[in-house]
Structure 1
Amino acid sequence: MPTERITFAGHDGSQLAARLDLPDGPVLATALFAHCFTCSKDIPAARRISARLAAMGIAVLRFDFTGLGHSEGEFANTTFTSNVEDLISAAQYLAGRNMAPALLIGHSLGGAAVLRARAGIPTVKAVVTLGAPSDPAHVSHHFEAALPQIEEDGSAEVSLGGRPFRIGKAFVDDIAKSALSSAIADLKAALLILHAPRDETVSIDNASAIFLAARHPKSFVTLDDADHLITRASDAEYAADVIAAWVSRYVKLCPPAPPPGAPEGVVRITEADPGGFMQDIQAGPNHHLVADEPASYGGTDKGMSPYGFVSAGLGACTSMTIRMYARRKGWPLTNVSVDVCHDKVHAQDAGLVNDGKVDQFRRKIRLSGPLDQEQRQRLLEIADKCPVHRTLEGSAHITTELLS
């Protein structure tokens, strides 16, 4: 997944640091990601979700709000409203590159910000919130003890997540008057709410309030026992999968024509876990799978093994070929199922004369319906004529080139 490091002007002209995660192929749509309160664009959840969307052809811009991470500006001078304005600035930057965002994703206070920013970004078709508060003022509990000093002195230094931040009175006043109910009701975009019932930072009641205030289409998916920052890799992976599956229903992903000689298009495999073996497999905008290895081989067993996919291809092609023949003949075949097992066996055990081991696929076919014995035998013969069967028995030619 290629990533561009870029900067653009925020609400006050400060240069905001951003990463634009791009697909390996054509950009089918663009998303804009807003991070959580005092976090950064590089938190694990943001990275994983961006990588997953990029694998399906959606570019993702994630940036540090003014005064945070690698962005310029003074955090003490920012407000919730300025965060919203930063988001609109980011959308305008993307539009200037002919990549106007169709999807907004916001984590925690970033979720509240995307709900408010939607009105200023007309190209957006879908909005996703993760652990978002229904009222921006909710974040004040992080520095509740400092509120009197902020009121008296105009600002105060507080510790958030073990790091010092200066919170200004303008921020406190702004979140106090930034109700979201009307913005949510008038969202004019599909809404997906992701929230953990045991979130100790932003309670699940906030998700309920957002859901009730929103109009359809809206969806609510639990993140189970994930923490507020979605720090566990498995929780971030689950959130990414849900978003990826949901967004294709509301954001039109128009794939380009397949390259010459590849009528089925390109199947793209992208490493999802450099520490293990898990792979994202994307076949066009609508089909996503995960490949992995069993735990005994150092994987996490979250997807089929490569040979499992080969076996699946053989079984699916066998079933389809049998169905096509029976349909053409008008035979009373009601159901087909195929079991496939793969193993490495000695050539002699497979009835071959060459030395060494060969791949052996054991295929068991079940045919249901009032078929006579002659029909059943003919369909068994037809199974050997399926294209994948012929490919595996033949000698496929594979060419490889190294891309820069």
Structure 2
Amino acid sequence: MTQVTVQRDGLTLVGDYIKPNQETYDLAILFHGFKANRNSPIIKAVSDSLNQAGLATMRFDFDGCGDSDGKFENMTVPGEIADANAIFQFALADHHVKNIYLVGHSQGGVVASMLAGLYPNAELIKKVVLLAPAATLRSDALKGDLQGIPYNPNDIPEAIQIGNFTVGGFYLRTAQILPIYDVAKHYQGPVCLIHGTNDQVVSPNASKKYHEVYKNSILHLVNGADHRFTPPYQKIAVDYTTNFLH
């Protein structure tokens, strides 16, 4: 494993790059969720499984998260898309990489879907996996609900405290106007959607909606699984991901 850094608008993003012992290989870029980091259990488990299957993986902390620069209160989804694009360009420049795949969990799934929608022809991004993609973040922002914490959506506060995290008002403002599905649907390549039926954070309807707008997708509803795919559901989600990409 090699620790790597990528620059984005003056911010240093920190990640781990794990490569197989061969000259060329396929690479999966993994994007973590809201309030998480590159070592969140589902991201780490997917990475380990893909490595065992002979794929390279690259997992980064978004700005304001983990070891990367920035403050969490300045984090927005458009900012994370910019992070993801910088990471993607870094991967594209690696001449050892044959094919690039995107894997995103929760908010990272929204980021992966929108980044892929900006590179729609599937020549640059071969496949996409979305694990419990949090596309409901827009409808929640329009309602004034941040993971159960209410606020006035027509008079957005400067910041909201959610546990130990401070979420900036600009995150909420941008969330209200994110064209998530409109951008995502442009992607022409194969997409694997994985969502737990017992997800209390993001309704499985989010993945069902993705499945409707994509031209080339498969949908796995994991019976009983929660948002984080905690064991025993983790292995099911990991196996679906690995089988789709390997």
Alignment map for 1:152-171 (pairs within 5 Å): 153-159=157-163, 164-171=164-171
Q: In structure 2, the residue corresponding to 1:61 is in which secondary structure?
A: strand
Partners of 2:41 and 2:24 in 1: CA distance: 23
What amino acid sits opposite 1:235 in the alignment? Y
Alignment map for 1:177-326 (pairs within 5 Å): 177-215=177-215, 217-232=216-231, 234-248=232-246
Moved more, 221-230 or 169-178: 221-230
Residues 1:45 and 2:46 aligned together: no
Partners of 1:76 and 1:148 in 2: CA distance: 18
Which one of 3, 6, 13 corresponds to residue 4 of structure 2? 6
Partners of 2:112 and 2:165 in 1: CA distance: 23
Q: In structure 2, the residue corresponding to 1:38 is in which secondary structure?
A: coil
Partners of 1:109 and 1:31 in 2: CA distance: 17
- Count of residue pairs brought into register by the alignment: 239
Deviation digits for residues 46-66 of structure 1 (CA, Å, limit 9, x no counterpart): 111111111222111111110
Deviation digits for residues 77-129 of structure 1 (CA, Å, limit 9, x no counterpart): 22111111110000111122223762110101111111101134461011110
Aligned to 1:126: 127
The structure-2 alpha-carbon separation of the partners of 1:196 and 1:32, relative to structure 1 and needing over 3 Å to count, comes to: same
Partners of 2:212 and 2:88 in 1: CA distance: 27
Shift of 1:229: 1.0
Q: In structure 1, the residue corresponding to 2:46 is in which secondary structure?
A: helix
Which one of 20, 24, 29 corresponds to residue 26 of structure 2? 29
Aligned to 2:79: 82
Aligned to 1:62: 59
Identity of aligned residues (%): 20
Q: In structure 2, the residue corresponding to 1:37 is in which secondary structure?
A: coil
The structure-2 alpha-carbon separation of the partners of 1:143 and 1:56, relative to structure 1 and needing over 3 Å to count, comes to: closer
Partners of 1:246 and 1:120 in 2: CA distance: 22
Partners of 1:101 and 1:75 in 2: CA distance: 32
What amino acid sits opposite 1:213 in the alignment? V
Partners of 1:151 and 1:180 in 2: CA distance: 23
Shift of 1:200: 1.0
Shift of 1:207: 1.4
The structure-2 alpha-carbon separation of the partners of 1:26 and 1:51, relative to structure 1 and needing over 3 Å to count, comes to: farther
Partners of 1:170 and 1:134 in 2: CA distance: 18
Partners of 1:150 and 1:181 in 2: CA distance: 23
Q: In structure 1, the residue corresponding to 2:124 is in which secondary structure?
A: coil
What amino acid sits opposite 1:147 in the alignment? Y
Gaps of 5+ in 2: none
RMSD: 2.2
What amino acid sits opposite 1:185 in the alignment? K
Partners of 2:190 and 2:60 in 1: CA distance: 23
Partners of 2:166 and 2:153 in 1: CA distance: 12
What TM-score do you get using the length of structure 2 for normalisation?
A: 0.88
Task: Select the structure with the greater relative contact order (CA < 8 A; seq sep ≥ 6).
Answer: 2
2:105–2:130 Cα contact (<8 Å) kept: yes
Aligned to 1:113: 111
Deviation digits for residues 234-262 of structure 1 (CA, Å, limit 9, x no counterpart): 422222221222224xxxxxxxxxxxxxx
1:5–1:18 Cα contact (<8 Å) kept: yes
Deviation digits for residues 305-329 of structure 1 (CA, Å, limit 9, x no counterpart): xxxxxxxxxxxxxxxxxxxxxxxxx
The structure-2 alpha-carbon separation of the partners of 1:152 and 1:33, relative to structure 1 and needing over 3 Å to count, comes to: closer
The structure-2 alpha-carbon separation of the partners of 1:17 and 1:227, relative to structure 1 and needing over 3 Å to count, comes to: same
Deviation digits for residues 256-313 of structure 1 (CA, Å, limit 9, x no counterpart): xxxxxxxxxxxxxxxxxxxxxxxxxxxxxxxxxxxxxxxxxxxxxxxxxxxxxxxxxx
Q: In structure 2, the residue corresponding to 1:102 is in which secondary structure?
A: strand
Shift of 1:43: 1.1
1:36–1:106 Cα contact (<8 Å) kept: yes
Shift of 1:213: 1.3
Larger radius of gyration: 1
The structure-2 alpha-carbon separation of the partners of 1:100 and 1:167, relative to structure 1 and needing over 3 Å to count, comes to: farther
Shift of 1:18: 0.6
Deviation digits for residues 203-222 of structure 1 (CA, Å, limit 9, x no counterpart): 1111111111111x210112
The structure-2 alpha-carbon separation of the partners of 1:148 and 1:134, relative to structure 1 and needing over 3 Å to count, comes to: closer
